[in-house]
Amino acid sequence: MEDKKTLFIDGREYRINGERNLLEVIRKAGIDIPTFCYHSELSVYGACRLCIVDIEGRGIVGSCSTPAEPGMKVHTNTPEIREMRKITLELLLANHEQNCLTCGKNSNCKLQELASRLGVDNVRFKPTHKPKPIDRSSPSIIRDPNKCVLCGDCVRMCHEVQGIGAIDFAYRGSDVMVLPAFGKDLSEVECVNCGQCARVCPTGALTVASQIENVWNELHNAEKTVVVQIAPAVRVALGEMFGMKAGEVVTGKTITALKRLGFDKVYDTSFTADLTVVEEAHEFLERKLNGENLPQFTSCCPAWVKFAEQYYPELLSNLSTCRSPQQMFGAVAKKMLPDLLDINRENLVVVSIMPCTAKKFEALRPEFNIDGYPDVDYVLSTQELGKMIKEAGLNFIDLETESFDLPLGFKTGAGVIFGASGGVSEAVLRLAVEKLSGNKIEKVDFLDVRGCEGIKETSFTINNTSVKIAVVHSLANARKIADMVKNGECDYDLIEVMACPGGCIGGAGQPCSFVDTINESRTQSLYNIDKNLQIHKSQDNPYIAELYEKVLTDHKITHELLHTEYNNRKRMSDNGLSFSEDNKNGKLHVDVCLGTGCYLKGAQDLLHEIITNIVDKNLAEQVEVRGSFCFEHCNNGPTVRVGKHLIEKCTLKLVLSEINKQLKATQTTAISS
């Protein structure tokens, strides 16, 4: 047996148990060392210097970036350390806009908390803060650089966990800021609205954009009937905002609170999650039967959908065409509730309560809008609902419990576990396995897809059909799997992707928490709800059956309400590389994609040939050739767009004939008009 490894913290002996660094050992010993730039999910940055400790023989070091070594004698609370921490905090405060009372993060802010904990009652440094503009362009996130402490948590989250890197440090010295590329707005760059940056931001520099006021206005408007849907993950997190323990199930209280806030009907997104399962499982079985568009990727996470649209255009046909449960709910509600509640569609307002910030973006997608009336009118995060309850003065803990309204409030356990990573797969399996075997199944738990590992797998064979499934959460993991699919390195049939670590229960709209085990608690609660419900399989939901009988009567309407399509999306707004002098209006634009995929397929040479030809044929007056980076049709590259016409697998001949055709067409219209 190995010697047990120990060290001393403030004179007491503690074991070292494979912790990643000294900080974790100290925290396990029950001492909450203050930190700004340390997150167990992220790499160590070591910039804030709050985590300093004194090691005998070594002096003062940052504990987050020091490995724990046997025999170390560590002091966490000396006069020198206390003074240094205070100075650090005062320096941060001197450069921080101080309007806490009106800040979105008020009472959830780490800077506030630490200033009070460390007893900072006076800032001894001259204020150095210069006001900078606030970026409100994104429907999901507000970026206020005036509140940034440059801890870099958001930068590392977006880069390491989400594999995107939409924001990064820019400039240097006293000008350093965290910015999207070229100082653009968040809505103009490749941000997928997952909000994870805001989840880890210790201050109010990144916060969730709020629609609270809009919703109050609708609630106060006597002409409007306001209905609300609650996502599965909300019911296991809202209680945290009222001091209840992590993961406590508060479904009944939430319904009562919503009714008392003035919502006319309270429904359950888990109902349309059941509907999603039925649609998506059938879609999957059909694809499996025909061997088409496999693997099938899930499509209920809007952050993943935008990610796929930006980075994996060649895989878009692999995405399930099913709308997310939120959008299915909106479409079904706006279709059937006007009759059921005897009101006009225009007077029906659908609000969602979501753990998610990307859902705010999803609700705004133009596909989900009929004649200017969106299927889902407003999306509130769990946090925003908590704030409304507080504003209304409801004593949440003591509220009695009520039940969901019918029919859109009846769900099975399958629709509830959707909120955890692996839940969608398990729910689909509960249907698919039954269909493939032709028998009712009793055992409904598929434990392989549960749990918090970043990439999970399971496979089984029924009646000679074998099915292989992967479940991933966090987009960096999604990228790994998507690359494998692209390169033909795996043979999965179904792949579930959730952008947020842990799935939706870890969404950025959930109550703020810096507790490491929070996701496990919330997840466990969702599985407990499933266990306690009578029905566990979406296909057994009687109200779903009724919906198919009464509303979703044929393929056309089902498709119209429950399915959607995806489009390639540019990662960034830009004007491309222009190769001609003037950008005179009325010129025919020829855009050659120079994105990586097309580039490899010879786009550069093609561009060269096109330009030479245009110049030789003296067409430069009428045609403008540009290099662009992001049609993202890379699978069929090189791609060239002539006017509005996109040519895949393009050759010089194809471009020239298209240019001729379009130039001729404009000439004839010019003559005839």
Q: In residues, how long is the chain?
A: 673
Please state the closest distance from residue 53 (CB atom) to ligand FES, in A: 10
What is the rounded CA–CA span in Å between residue 606 and residue 613?
Answer: 11
What is the rounded CA–CA span in Å between residue 353 and residue 377?
Answer: 11
- Tell whether omega for the bond before 638 is within 30 degrees of 0, i.e. cis: yes
In eight-state DSSP terms, residue 319 is: B
**Beta-bridge mates of residue 467:** 460
Task: Please pick, among 86, 265, 306, 359, the residue that the annotation labels catalytic.
Answer: 359
> Considering only 32-40, 152-160, 402-410, 453-461, which stretch makes contact with ligand FES by CB under 6 A?
32-40
Q: Determine how β-strand 225-230 pairs with β-strand 373-374.
A: unpaired
Residue whose CB is less far from ligand SF4, 10 or 185:
185
Considering the rule CB under 8 A, would residue 614 count as an interface residue with another protein?
A: yes
Considering the rule CB under 6 A, would residue 449 count as an interface residue with ligand FES?
A: no
- Tell whether omega for the bond before 295 is within 30 degrees of 0, i.e. cis: yes
Q: Please, which residues have CB within 8 angstroms of residue 549's CB and are 6 or more apart in sequence?
A: none
Residue whose CB is less far from ligand SF4, 186 or 598:
186
Q: From the list ligand FES, ligand SF4, another protein, none, pick the one residue 189 interacts with, judged by a Cβ distance below 5 to 8 Å according to partner type.
A: another protein
**Residue 280: active-site member:** yes
What is the rounded CA–CA span in Å between residue 200 and residue 42?
Answer: 10
Angle between helices 382-391 and 212-220 (to 10 degrees): 50
Which contiguous run of DSSP H or E holds residue 647? strand 645-647
Q: From the list ligand FES, another protein, ligand SF4, none, pick the one residue 47 interacts with, judged by a Cβ distance below 5 to 8 Å according to partner type.
A: ligand FES
> CA dihedral defined by 159, 160, 161, 166, rounded to 10 degrees?
0
Q: From the list ligand SF4, ligand FES, another protein, none, pick the one residue 572 interacts with, judged by a Cβ distance below 5 to 8 Å according to partner type.
A: another protein
Please state the closest distance from residue 88 (CB atom) to ligand FES, in A: 9
**Residue 100: active-site member:** no
Please state the closest distance from residue 52 (CB atom) to ligand FES, in A: 8
Which of the residues 343 through 402 are near ligand FES (CB under 6 A)?
Answer: none
Considering the rule CB under 6 A, would residue 92 count as an interface residue with ligand FES?
A: no
What is the rounded CA–CA span in Å between residue 196 and residue 43?
Answer: 15
Considering the rule CB under 6 A, would residue 480 count as an interface residue with ligand FES?
A: no
Neighbouring C-beta atoms of residue 426, cutoff 10 Å = 28
| Strand positions, DSSP E, 216-363 | 225-230, 265-268, 296-297, 348-354
- Tell whether omega for the bond before 407 is within 30 degrees of 0, i.e. cis: yes
Please state the closest distance from residue 142 (CB atom) to ligand SF4, in A: 11
> Considering only 31-39, 83-91, 416-424, 598-606, which stretch makes contact with ligand FES by CB under 6 A?
31-39
Please state the closest distance from residue 65 (CB atom) to ligand FES, in A: 6
Count residues contacting ligand FES (CB under 6 A)? 12
Among 16, 25, 37, 154, binds ligand FES (CB under 6 A): 37
Return the closest-CA partner of residue 9 out of 64, 82, 70, 65.
70
Please state the closest distance from residue 138 (CB atom) to ligand FES, in A: 27
Considering the rule CB under 6 A, would residue 51 count as an interface residue with ligand FES?
A: yes
Task: Please pick, among 151, 197, 322, 504, the residue that the annotation labels catalytic.
Answer: 504
**Residue 359: active-site member:** yes
Please state the closest distance from residue 415 (CB atom) to ligand SF4, in A: 15
Task: Please pick, among 154, 194, 300, 650, the residue that the annotation labels catalytic.
Answer: 300
Please state the closest distance from residue 340 (CB atom) to ligand SF4, in A: 28
Considering the rule CB under 6 A, would residue 49 count as an interface residue with ligand FES?
A: yes
Angle between helices 269-290 and 555-562 (to 10 degrees): 120
Residue type, position 532, single letter = N
**Residue 140: active-site member:** no
Please state the closest distance from residue 449 (CB atom) to ligand FES, in A: 34
**Residue 648: active-site member:** no
Contact 152, 37 (CB under 8 A): yes
Interface ranges with ligand SF4 (CB under 6 A): 141, 157-158, 162, 164, 166-167, 191-197, 301-303, 355-356, 358-359, 498-500, 503-504, 507
Task: Please pick, among 24, 97, 240, 280, the residue that the annotation labels catalytic.
Answer: 280
Return the closest-CA partner of residue 328 out of 266, 280, 273, 405.
273
Q: Which DSSP string do the residues of 190-224 spell out, in sequence order?
A: T-----HHHHH-SSTTEEE---HHHHHHHHH-TT-
Which of the residues 579 through 598 are near another protein (CB under 8 A)?
Answer: 579-581, 594-596
Which of the residues 135 through 174 are near another protein (CB under 8 A)?
Answer: 159, 164-172
What is the rounded CA–CA span in Å between residue 54 and residue 75?
Answer: 5
Residue whose CB is less far from ligand FES, 391 or 516:
516
**Residue 300: active-site member:** yes
Among 50, 142, 467, 482, binds ligand FES (CB under 6 A): 50
Q: Please, which residues have CB within 8 angstroms of residue 158's CB and are 6 or more apart in sequence?
A: 164, 165, 166, 167, 191, 196, 197
Residue whose CB is less far from ligand SF4, 195 or 597:
195
Angle between helices 325-341 and 555-562 (to 10 degrees): 120
Measured on CA atoms in the order 146, 152, 157, 162, is the torsion positive or negative? positive
Please state the closest distance from residue 144 (CB atom) to another protein, in A: 18
- State the distance between the two ends of the chain, measured CA to CA, in whole angstroms: 93
Considering the rule CB under 8 A, would residue 578 count as an interface residue with another protein?
A: yes
Give the binding site for ligand FES (CB under 6 A).
35-38, 46-51, 62, 64
What residues act catalytically? 280, 283, 300, 320, 359, 362, 367, 504
Give the binding site for another protein (CB under 8 A).
159, 164-172, 179-183, 189-190, 571-572, 574-581, 594-596, 599, 604, 607-608, 611, 614-615, 620-621, 625, 627, 629-630
